[in-house]
Amino acid sequence: MQTPERLDGRALAYIAIALLTWSSAYAAIAYALASFTPGEVALARLAIGSICFAVLLVVKRVPMPARRDWPQLAALGVIGLTAYHLCLNTAETRVASGTAAILISLVPAATAALSAIWLRERLSPRTLTGLGVALVGVVVVVLTSGKEVKVEPMAALVLVSVLSSAIFFVGQKPFFTRNSMLGVTGFTFFAGMLGTLPFGLGLPHALAVAPAAHIYALLWLGIAPTFIGYIAWNAALHRASASQVSSFIYFSPPIAVLIGWVWLGERPTLLTLVGGVITVGGVVLANARRRSARPTATVAATTPAKQH
């Protein structure tokens, strides 16, 4: 039975789980990069996630996707997981944190554009306005939260991550209608993990000499933001449109600021809070549903048509 596409309470709960786990990934990646290369972090993260998926699929007896879908899903796994994580990890070693946060926030706009072209999702002026307002809010949050922002060539890697992520989110959705969501997600992870193998060949040696704390960071990355986060996100994608779900990525910078406030005592400025409010308002506007004029449509339908 196909799930009706609507942003209901369960979809919002899945999105919240994904965003909370993903918001912890950036700090964990930066921590792990002290002992591992970007390719090794990507391989470890996706390998741990793939092991978790393999266990889950066996325990729940989830069928693999139809064989005719394997080539497309493998390509999506390499684009949306291999390329995304390799580029993001490399960018974290070179790109200022504020620059990366602003560029990553382009994912909702890129996803909305691809959804309109690829999935024929209708984007109302209200949705487009909301996405624009939310992006302005994110920029205000980043600029006033003390994060470094500067233009640099390596920022192009973040843009590659943005495009890869949008393709991954939008490209998976048609496969959910004829395959298990868990099966599709697990298969893309297996493909994405295999794609990182050439870039993480030194992982065994790095694990042997790395401090335990950095290995724990890899375990956290593989289990929380990767395994749990992607399951929750794809569950939300299964229930609502790609453009709706992706709009909530705008909440990531405000969530990161909130975590820093609660956990590290980093008090945000008034302008940072204003930016957070603008972001929330933009996301709400983007997902507001206009009331349809059903009574008028009903009257029109019941009125006998005139002969011409």
Cα dihedral sign for 200, 205, 208, 209? negative
pLDDT band, very low/low/confident/very high, at 264 (cuts 50, 70, 90): low
Q: Please state the pTM of the whole predicted model.
A: 0.82
CB 172 within 8 A of CB 184: yes
pLDDT of 307 reads 44
In percent, the amount of the chain with pLDDT more than 70 equals 88
Please check whether residue 75 lies inside any domain of the structure. Answer: yes
For the segment 260-288, the average pLDDT, to the nearest whole number, is: 79
* pLDDT tens digits along 177-190: 999 999 999 999 99
CB 175 within 8 A of CB 184: yes
- Highest average pLDDT, of 18-22, 98-102, 212-216, comes from 212-216
pLDDT at position 3 over 60: no
Please check whether residue 294 lies inside any domain of the structure. Answer: no
In percent, the amount of the chain with pLDDT more than 90 equals 49
Please check whether residue 296 lies inside any domain of the structure. Answer: no
More reliable by pLDDT, 106 or 4: 106
| 3-class DSSP state of 172 | helix
pLDDT band, very low/low/confident/very high, at 80 (cuts 50, 70, 90): very high
Please check whether residue 138 lies inside any domain of the structure. Answer: no
Note down the domain range covering 75. Answer: 9-14+24-124+150-245
Please check whether residue 234 lies inside any domain of the structure. Answer: yes
Average pLDDT value for the chain? 86
Number of domains in the chain: 1
pLDDT of 138 reads 84
**Do you know the residue count of the chain?**
308
* pLDDT tens digits along 102-154: 788 888 888 888 988 888 888 888 888 888 888 888 888 878 777 777 777 78
Between the CA of residue 166 and those of 13, 101, 162, 222, what are the distances in Å?
21, 16, 6, 21
pLDDT of 294 reads 46
pLDDT at position 296 over 70: no
Please check whether residue 155 lies inside any domain of the structure. Answer: yes
Please check whether residue 304 lies inside any domain of the structure. Answer: no
pLDDT of 97 reads 67
- Highest average pLDDT, of 19-28, 188-197, 265-274, comes from 188-197
Please check whether residue 260 lies inside any domain of the structure. Answer: no
Question: Which letter, b or e, does each residue of 282-308 get, where b requires 16 or more Cβ atoms within 10 Å of its Cβ?
Answer: bbebbbeeeeeeeeeeeeeeeeeeeee
For the segment 21-46, the average pLDDT, to the nearest whole number, is: 91
d(CA 228, CA 235): 11
CB 186 within 8 A of CB 57: yes
